[in-house]
Structure formats: structure tokens, C-alpha cells
Amino acid sequence: MINSITIEDFLQKAKQLPVLDARAPKEYAIGRIPQALSFPIFSDEERAKVGTAYKQQGHDPAVLIGLDLFGPKMSKLVREAEKLAPSKELLVHCWRGGMRSGAMAWLLDFAGFQVYLLQGGYKAYRHYMHEQFERERPLLIISGNTGSGKTDLLPYLQQQGQQVIDLEGLASHKGSSFGSIGMAPQPSTEHFENLLGMTMLELDDQQPLWLEDESISIGKVQMPKPLFDHMQQSPTIVLEVPKTLRIQKLAEEYCRTDPALLESAILRIKKRLGGMATKEAIEAISTGDMEKMVDIALTYYDKAYTYELAKKQEVLRLPLETLNPEENAQRLIKFATQHQLI
């Protein structure tokens, strides 16, 4: 039996049932519902062939070509679906809830599956994700110069019952020229939005959400503009940590990094550092003087941070004498409570 269901019901059922994405592999790679498994009705080349036929010859010839390609795969697709959904109950979607998911749903229904079909397809899912970024919710932004330990606080805030999203974790990038070091490859902006939207769905809109201060770009990933604009207008708490502590922290981290990666990161900000400073930073890397290299890099990053902070509407400053994340998370919560932010 085939049941056409809304995106809200679809995502609820996706917590227990397999989700089959009938789009082509290339579409799936760009962005997907996080729980979904790639289960393409056509390969990338086949999809292009059907699409070209549709544009050049019209609907009916394209459908016949699609059926010629789909027919020989039917038994294999059913066998694969049986492995993925032994209970013979699953969810299916394509791009717009049209012919591809319709054909897949028909086949699986014919084979005895209980099939739930997403109304509007992946396009409806993307629209639903964008709605999450436009919803009104109280935000609290953690800011501070590079090396202030902002990201380190997030799990400790969560342990204290606070709502937190690690934007850099979802983007797989720490936000600076050095941000890709030690991180997995970044998702596309589309898939980052999917991951972020799904995380926001699980939160309480009425309770404050803590986010680390970010530029609109986190590496190659772009922040959703409605959320970024909301962050700019939300209360921002600046962690003021002595530069000596920040230098020590970053130097310890980069001591374990391939010098070639550090040199590449410095060269990416060469125009901003200037020729002499760039040369000194690279020499410091070659001699293993990480503190000197970090000190030079922070000259640029601290200046850039001060410029961006000036755009904020409400800024509060919290001086810290340590980089102990558990202790600083407790101080941050106390500070926010005193200022009636939580």
C-alpha cells in the first residue's frame, strides 16, 4: 500500500523506518535528508539521458526511455529494498515527489511493501529546513578572539542543560585559514543547511539557543542568511581571555600539525599579514616556534575580530583568567543569568 504523507509525518516516521532517496547519485551527494539511503532509480548518466529526451522530444518519449532503463532493474531493486527494510515498511522520496519516487513506490508496493511517499519530495524537505532558520527563537552568541576556547565550552553548556548547536562541527571547519586542519571534508552548503535544520527541529523554540559567533562563511560553507542576521541582532557575550593564554593554547594545538599545512594557512592570509610578517611566520614554523607563528597570525585575526564585533547590536564582556572549559561554562551561565538572558 502507498501512503502519501507530509514532510512533518515523513520525518517522524524516518526515526524508525528506512528512507530511500530515489534521486540520482550526484543529487544525493550534493545534499540529502540525513537519514536517507541512496537508492537511485537512474544513474547520473541515465537521468541526463531522460532529461535530454524530455527537453528535445517531450514527455511521452522521455517516459518510454525511462521505462526501458527502469524495467531491467526492477528485481534487483526489490531485493535490495528487502535487505534494507526486512519489515517491508519504508519511506521513499525523489526531487519533487513525481515520476521517479512514484515509479519506485509502485514497484515496492507491488512487491508487498508498505510505502510512505513524501509529498513534494526533497524540494518540500528543503523548504521545511529553510523555515527552521526563519523561526523566532532566543539566541545567545558566544564571541571572543581566536583561541578564547569558545568551541570548548559548548559540550559543558549542554551538560548544564543549555541548548547548544556546534556550527563549526556541522560545517567541519573552524572558521579561519587554519580551520580545515584536522577536520573531515566539508559538506556542501545545502547539506550543512540540512544538518543544521534537523538539529534545530529537535530544540525548544522558547528556550535560549547558544551559538558560537561566526562569519557568514565557515570555510566554504555559507550560513543561512536569516539565521546569520538573527545572530547579529542577538545578545553577544565576549569571552575576554589574555592573549598569552590564547597563544599558548593555539601553539599547543599546532605543535601536532604538519608544518606544510600551517605554511599553506599562513600563505592564504599573506595579503592581510604583509610580506615581512608572512616571512617571519613561515620561518617560525620551520624552526618549530609555534608561539611566534601564532602571535603573528593573531595580529590579523584580532584586528578582523574587532571590526566584526563593531557590527553587533548588543555586546556584553566576560573577563576570564583561565581556559578551563568546564569552569568557564559555569561562569558563562552565571553571567547570562545575572543579565537576565536566561
Grid cell 539565521 is found at: 227
Sign of the CA dihedral running 255, 259, 263, 264: negative
- Distance, first Cα to last Cα, the chain: 49
Q: Report which residue type is found at 330.
A: Q
In whole angstroms, give the CA distance from residue 192 to residue 221: 7
β-bridge partners, 93: 21
CA 268 to chain centre: 23
Give kind and range of the element (H or E) at residue 308: helix 290-309
C-alpha cell at 65: 526511455
Angle between the 99-110 and 74-84 helix axes, to the nearest 10 degrees?
80
Report the alpha-carbon angle 197-16-122, nearest 5.
Answer: 45
Helix (H, G, I), strand (E, B) or coil at 75: helix
> Is 237 exposed, middle or buried, given 0-12, 13-18 or 19+ CB atoms closer than 10 A?
buried
Angle between the 275-286 and 290-309 helix axes, to the nearest 10 degrees?
140
C-alpha cell at 280: 617571519
- Among candidates 190, 5, 214, 201, which has minimal Cα distance to 115? 5
Active-site entry in 36, 94, 265, 285: 94
The verdict on whether 94 is a catalytic residue reads yes
Helix (H, G, I), strand (E, B) or coil at 189: helix
Helix (H, G, I), strand (E, B) or coil at 197: helix
Residues designated as active site: 94
